Amino acid sequence: MSRTIIHLIDPIHPAPAFINEAAAVIQHGGLVAFPTETVYGLGADALDAHAAARIFEAKQRALNDPLIVHVHEPQLDALVDLAALTNTQRRDLQTLTDAFWPGPLTLVLPKRAHVPSVISAGLDTIAVRMPDHPVARALIAAARTPIAAPSANLFGHVSPTTAQHVLDDLDGRFDMLLDGGPTRIGVESTVLSLLHSPPRILRPGGITREMLLALGIPAERAPHSSHSDSPDTDAQLAPGMLTSHYAPRATLEIAPSLAALRKRCAELASHNTRIGILLTSAQITQCPDLHPQFDLGASLDDIARSLYAGLRALDDAAVDVILVTRIPPDGLGDALADRLGRAAGRKVDSDGG
């Protein structure tokens, strides 16, 4: 297994030489890891079935979990069967792309027949988004093809928000890495299906339900997936819907309050269990005695940027159990509560709890 070629790249003004080199890898059926505003993606030509299959192999990804296809411009004719949409769906599509593209919104739409079935896990739909990151957009434009790119990590593991996270999971399993530094948002895109009435949020993310409602889109949260986590079951409607996902090696426990977290720490310590704590900046001032601890920051935006790094850092500290308090599922907290619930391997209710 050969080592991955790594290029340090300016995240604002990416060097054309590196972008063109990476685009050539994509055009020849290779895999390139690159930053988006959400997390790092592992990309391949979305119209090349063999290249897309390499993503599943590299990530050890279940074949029933569809991929998100990234585009440079909001022209969707080559991927989406627009004629299959109703007038209302077409109007919503235009409204959403005008407001949130480029950005962390993935739309589930009817796909054209020539799009490889491996991309959509055999479904007749496709998940598409236009990323808001100069490196990602430059790469897609230079490759002259849409790029399928799930998160660049081993399937089910904590998503990568730095290039080092990508290498920790996948070094040698893909061809090139564009290291553009830490990602800006830190949690994955919102996945919204326009094929439900009203539109359905299949995975909460950087575009919140409140933002959709303010735009006149009466989006509802999808009920928890009833599918198992086995690759032999029916296809998932969208990525990130499995019960166990985004998971660290350590066991993650979610406490209902800081007092409950402190009590659980004492219980685990009495059994010589190695404990790691994820705390907000405010909580750290109340719990200076709890170690090792990782500072998630003060705001929901801070927590989103640092959550996956915190889970990985505490894993690196070789703890057995990671403790965190519940995040109320309001605004961006909906996505954070969803990720924590799945990282803990438990059912995530429609309110994100």
Write out the DSSP string of 228-271: -S-TTSPPPSSTT-SSS-SB-SSEEEEESSHHHHHHHHHHHHHT
- Domain holding 179: CATH number? 3.90.870.10
Q: Look up residue 319 and give its amino acid.
A: V
Looking up residue 337, the CATH number of its domain turns out to be 3.40.50.11030
CB 304 within 8 A of CB 338: no
Tell whether pTM > 0.75. yes
Helix (H, G, I), strand (E, B) or coil at 276: strand
Write the CB contacts of 302 (distance below 8 Å, at least 6 apart in sequence): 281, 296
Query: pLDDT in tens for each of the 353 residues of the chain?
Result: 568 999 999 999 999 999 999 999 999 999 999 999 999 999 999 999 999 999 999 999 888 889 999 999 888 999 999 999 999 999 999 999 999 999 999 999 999 999 999 999 999 999 999 999 999 999 999 999 999 999 999 998 999 999 999 999 999 999 999 999 999 999 999 999 999 999 999 999 999 999 999 999 999 988 754 444 444 446 666 665 555 568 899 999 999 999 999 999 999 999 999 999 999 999 999 888 888 999 999 999 999 999 999 999 999 999 999 999 999 999 999 999 999 999 998 544 433 32
Out of 171, 206, 221, pick the residue that ends a domain: 221
CA distance 49 to 310: 35
Rounded CA separation 343/346 (Å)? 8
Residue 286 lies in a domain: yes
In angstroms, rounded to a whole number, what is the distance separating the alpha carbons of residues 116 and 238?
16
**Does residue 238 form part of some domain?**
no
Domain membership flag for residue 274: yes
Same domain membership, residue 192 and residue 97: yes
Backbone angles phi, psi at 252, to 5 degrees: -100, 130
Integer Rg of the chain from CA: 20
131, 137 in Cβ contact below 8 A? yes
Instruction: Give a yes or no: residue 102 inside a domain.
Output: yes
Peptide bond into 198 cis (omega under 30): yes
The single residue listed with the structure tokens 């279940």 is 62
Residue where a domain stops, chosen among 200, 221, 242: 221
Q: What is the count of structural domains for the chain? A: 2
Same domain, 86 and 176: yes
- Asked whether residue 135 is assigned to any structural domain, the reply reads yes
Q: What is the pLDDT of residue 352?
A: 33
| Inter-axis angle of helices 163-170 and 300-316, nearest 10 | 40
What pLDDT is stored for residue 75 in this prediction? 84
Residue span of the structural domain in which 263 resides: 251-343
Query: Domain for residue 262, yes or no?
Result: yes
Contact assessment for residue 120 and residue 66, using Cβ atoms and an 8 Å cutoff: yes
